[in-house]
Amino acid sequence: MRVVGISKRLGGRRILDAIHLELFKGQTKVLIGPSGGGKSTLLQCMNYLIFPETGFIELEGQTIDPRNTKALCAFRQQVGMIFQDFNLFDHLTAVDNVAIALRKVRGWSRRQALERAMAELERVGLADKATLYPAELSGGQKQRVSIARALAMDPKVMLLDEPTSALDPELVSEVLAVIRALAQGGMTMVMATHQMGFARAVADEVLFMENGRIIEQGPPAALLTPGAATRTLDFCSQLEGGI
């Protein structure tokens, strides 16, 4: 996946400034940086939930034309998205949350879709919660369901927008465990996060974003080793000191 020259303005303010990004199969990249730095906007541009003003996205050598609705939907199926506040469908049970896109988008039968949905729920350790509604689940469980929902579509890339920020501290680890397992399983991912320990352990590359630009990028070892004179490290020590 390649991101080429993405720019976006909102209300006259430049949110993204000619971002370039290249993502190889099986890679995990972590986006860090201060709030308002453009991380979330970049992720949403990457599957055209937000249309950038300039630049384009390429997936496996194919350029995506966002005005072609059919192609856009097909593209989005290949790019899973995890949101900070889960965005589960409140009127559907956990298993139906996972199954609905399979039925509506893929046109699978109800049985087929439910079977696959159960398999995905099992993968995130929630098979026993399948018939519960979102309002009956904890935050961590909701986020795991939303991961299962994205995985059910067999995405080639996963975009994770601060998946643990809205969680109580004691629930963070169960979600991170699922994501870690994904990374180890060879999923291609871009994840915005403030979890530095996790970034160090999992990321192939760390990108530091501020004011709509990628300021520093490199392997975590280079950017995050104590004593390295990087903006990334500065930011992280502030963050960790603050908590």
Query: Least Å distance between CB 38 and another protein?
Result: 18
Cβ pair 2, 57 in contact under 8 A: yes
Interface with another protein in residues 90-149 (CB under 8 A): 90-91, 100-101, 104-105, 132-136, 146, 149
Amino acid in the structure at residue 165: S
Q: Does 77 bind another protein (CB under 8 A)?
A: yes
Binding residue for another protein, selected from 49, 222, 228, 239, defined by CB under 8 A: 49
Nearer to another protein, 66 or 218 (CB): 66
Q: Residues 6 or more apart from 39 whose CB is under 8 A from it?
A: 31, 32, 33, 161, 162, 192, 209
Instruction: With CB under 8 A as the rule, give the number of residues binding another protein.
Output: 32
Binding residue for another protein, selected from 17, 85, 115, 204, defined by CB under 8 A: 85
Q: Which residues pair with 14 in a beta bridge?
A: 9
Residue 38 to residue 82: CA distance in whole angstroms = 16
Q: Does 177 bind another protein (CB under 8 A)?
A: no
Q: 16 vs 41, 52, 54, 163, 232, CA distance in Å?
A: 8, 9, 10, 21, 19
Q: Does 201 bind another protein (CB under 8 A)?
A: no
Helix (H, G, I), strand (E, B) or coil at 193: coil
Q: Which residues bind another protein (CB under 8 A)?
A: 44, 47, 49, 69, 73-74, 76-77, 79-81, 83, 85-91, 100-101, 104-105, 132-136, 146, 149-150, 153
